[in-house]
Chain A
Amino acid sequence: MLTCESLCKYYQSSKGMVKSLDEINLSVSKGEFLEVRGHSGSGKTTLLLTLGAMMHPTHGKVVFKGTDLYRLNRAERARVRSSSIGFVFQMFHLIPYLDLVGNVLAGDDGNHSGAHSKSEALLQELGLGHRLNHLPNQLSAGEKQRVALARAMVASPDLILADEPTGNLDPENSKEVCRHLKRYQEKGGTVIVVTHGDAVHDFANRTIDLKAGEIISGPSLDHQADEA
């Protein structure tokens, strides 16, 4: 469902060229739960944003459901994100002036009838049914991340990309978030989580390690060949 070939992202810094991603080849199948591990500065977030049609690579291509994402223009990539990709971030990035239902609805692409009731149902499922009309600043970190999860799921995207979703959570809340991501994957969704911790490891069915912008372990393109 998602492949990237020779993916590179270079930055020019005061200390010279920084290779944030260097010749990454990766394939992710539909229904997979992929964990991408790496230390801070290893290029995890850059990889996630590049896979999510948010950051133009320096070289290489990202093919999602048969479409080379970076041959699309900005508006077309935005449509792909809106309809097919859900994002979860370490800092939650909830809209501070919208209540929980409003925040979840923000993730809807507007093409689904009953989005409001679906938002409420998702929040119920994530244990936030009693706080539907609360604002994000009235929630704990774990609750905020569950709202972010609901937002990522509301449009039923094919792919959820999560950037350190447990980074700000205690062990109990981390497991809770991972369980919800796992449940989403079990229903047919595809999940890619980048993390530097161990919380996700038990839930993923594949793990790759990233170091200095390169994959240093775990199957990449070969995995796709095996699946085929």
Chain B
Amino acid sequence: MLPLILREISFRKGHTTIMLCGLISVTALMTAYLSTESAAERETKRVARDLGFNLRILPKQTDMDLYWFQGFSDQTMPEATVERLANYQGVFMTYNHLMASLRQKITMGGGDVILVGVAPTITSPDKKKRPMGFTIKARTLHLGYQVGQRLGLKSGDTLQLSGHDFKIEKVMVEYGTEEDVYVYGTLKDVQGIADKPGQINEIKAIDCLCLTADQDPISILRKELEKILPEAKVIQDRVQADARARQRQMVQRKFEFLSPFLMVCGAIWVAVLSALNVRERRSEIGIWRALGKGGGFIAGLVIGKAMIIGFFGGFIGFWVGNSMALEVGPSIFQITAKAIKTEWSYLVWSLILTPLLAAAASFIPAMLAVTQDPAETLRES
């Protein structure tokens, strides 16, 4: 049957071209859209990650009045707590990017600073997520803008704390927040300076982004934490959490509308062209039936043709769509060009789904062909 279909395809070049163009258009638009959508999602994740941690896990006995007043907990908990949390099965379903820290107020250069010792971020071993924040090397410090200004220190200078020399790795830009009076070091170094070995007073995390608007995220997070760390409590920065959720939902809503719309347009296009093709081939279908060919053969001619054109439409459409995404995407979708890349998995999906879409769309025309009365056709002509 394949040679027959190929000959018919090459014989009716006009019809083939129009059908192919339709499928190329649909696949190209889908590919371009999905490529930019993937890029947008990656960007969303990056932007959300840059928003920072939005969960804080604190020792349960923390005086919250004092916490909000001074910016850190007056209580501590063992450093092993974060390991215990990370090792709890399924914790990364709810919490992501766990980062333990010890925060302490000290006096430096005649003024108060918040000394923050941070441990490396722990991420889910199953998901290859990039750690958030910056990496601090041992015996180095990152100074907040205000601290740097007050002490007159710059990158490469040395600062002595608790009898140890620390190299100033970086003086941060002015954030206009309390971070301007922060001094960051490694957890171990800060534990030494604060004389609190093996202690932390905060674990920062990000929620899973999987909760819908009608759910109360904080109650779910608290219920979960109660099972794992009964000695701790969790608070959520609602401003950051809401911004993150809104961005994610906005991208999803666009996708939910456009994809089915494109699919339906493509299906209608193929269905109409298949129906016209069947109409044009009435006499041929009549003679095939007269020659004893069954309904499966006739349906195979129509659907097989649609699938073959769909295969090529999928292949060409992928390349057209990919080029559109790479060339035009950044200006249309306002996404950084770097985020858009060739999504090879879409090639595979194009080669599978476009023929299936074409086959599904030509199903009704194929059934019309099968049910066509050959005697009627042959009698008419």
* Residues of A that sit less than 8 Å from B by CB: 45-46, 49, 52, 54-55, 74-75, 78-83, 87, 89, 91, 93, 95-98, 102, 106-107, 109, 135, 151, 163
The answer on a CB contact under 8 Å between B291 and A81 is yes
1/0 per residue, CB under 8 A from A, across B213-250: the answer is 00000000000000000000000000000000000000
Q: Which of B12, B292, B375 contacts A82 (CB 8 A)?
A: B292
The answer on a CB contact under 8 Å between A49 and B375 is yes
The answer on a CB contact under 8 Å between A49 and B379 is yes
The answer on a CB contact under 8 Å between A98 and B7 is yes
Q: Which residues of A contact B290 (CB under 8 A)?
A: 52, 54, 81, 87, 93
Does B11 make an interface contact (CB < 8 A)?
yes
Most buried by B among A81, A82, A95: A95
A78-B375 contact, Cβ under 8 Å, with A95-B284, A97-B10:
no
* Residues of B that sit less than 8 Å from A by CB: 4, 7-8, 10-12, 283-284, 286-295, 374-375, 378-379, 381
Majority secondary structure, B binding face: helix
Majority secondary structure, A binding face: mixed
The answer on a CB contact under 8 Å between A107 and B291 is yes
Q: How far is the CA of A143 from the CA of B292 in the complex (A)?
A: 24
CB-nearest residue of chain A to B287: A93
What's the minimum C-beta distance from B27 to chain A, rounded to whole angstroms? Answer: 26
Q: Which of B4, B294, B295, B378 contacts A93 (CB 8 A)?
A: B378
Q: How far is the CA of A107 from the CA of B290 in the complex (A)?
A: 9
Q: Which residues of B contact A75 (CB under 8 A)?
A: 294
CB-nearest residue of chain B to A108: B291
Q: Which residues of A contact B295 (CB under 8 A)?
A: 74
Q: Which residues of B contact A163 (CB under 8 A)?
A: 378
Q: Which residues of B contact A91 (CB under 8 A)?
A: 283, 381
The answer on a CB contact under 8 Å between A96 and B11 is yes
Q: Which of A46, A78, A97 contacts B289 (CB 8 A)?
A: A78
CB-nearest residue of chain B to A50: B375
**Can you spell out 11 A-B residue pairs with CB atoms less than 8 angstroms apart?**
A75-B294, A78-B294, A79-B292, A82-B293, A83-B292, A89-B378, A93-B284, A95-B287, A97-B7, A98-B7, A163-B378
What's the minimum C-beta distance from B11 to chain A, rounded to whole angstroms? Answer: 3
Q: How far is the CA of A45 from the CA of B377 in the complex (A)?
A: 12
Q: How far is the CA of A163 from the CA of B379 in the complex (A)?
A: 10
Q: How far is the CA of A113 from the CA of B48 in the complex (A)?
A: 70
Most buried by A among B11, B292, B293, B378: B292
